[in-house]
Amino acid sequence: MKKENGLASGISETDLVDAYMKKLKHPMSDIVQQLRKFILSIDKTVGEGIYWNAPTFYYTGKMKPFDPKEYKRYIVGLNFYKQDAIRMIFLRGADAKDPKEILEGDYKDGRRLTTISSSADLKEKEPALKNIVQQLLKNMS
């Protein structure tokens, strides 16, 4: 029988993310650490793990059973493709109102993206990011 991962069971896997971060060779790894701290501080029900080869944040509360391909538990995943920015992928970003218009894209599957290019950029976007994460969490609980 396949072992259930932390995301499927709603259990944060901080140790896995810590180990991943120790090995991460990215010019903006310090901003990734700031992002981790910020996202996890938004609500105690936010957990983290490594999915798609990067830190991913998800809801750890109780949920009714659902098809894993519906991505109902996901909040945001990070992407390190670019060396001068961190891409944040909100898999269900279309479910959140974005009055500050920090989310980009109009993907049919509901994804929305934003990019963090510096500590100052993160600080500027924090209120809007917090609002989006809180909206997504409210939809999940």
pLDDT tens per residue, range 91-104: 999 999 999 999 99
Range 109-113 average pLDDT: 94
pLDDT at position 1 is: 41
Residue-range domains of the chain with CATH: 6-140 (3.90.1150.200)
pLDDT at position 11 is: 82
Q: Do residues 124 and 101 touch, judged by C-beta distance below 8 A? A: no
pLDDT tens by residue, 6-48? 666 678 899 999 999 999 999 999 999 999 999 999 999 999 9
Q: Do residues 115 and 108 touch, judged by C-beta distance below 8 A? A: no
How far is residue 10's CA from residue 65's CA, in Å, rounded to a whole number? 12
What pTM was estimated for this model as a whole? Answer: 0.90
Q: Do residues 37 and 70 touch, judged by C-beta distance below 8 A? A: no
How far is residue 54's CA from residue 74's CA, in Å, rounded to a whole number? 13
pLDDT score of 106 more than 80 = yes
Structure tokens at 88: 């944040």
pLDDT tens by residue, 42-79? 999 999 999 989 999 999 988 776 666 666 788 999 99
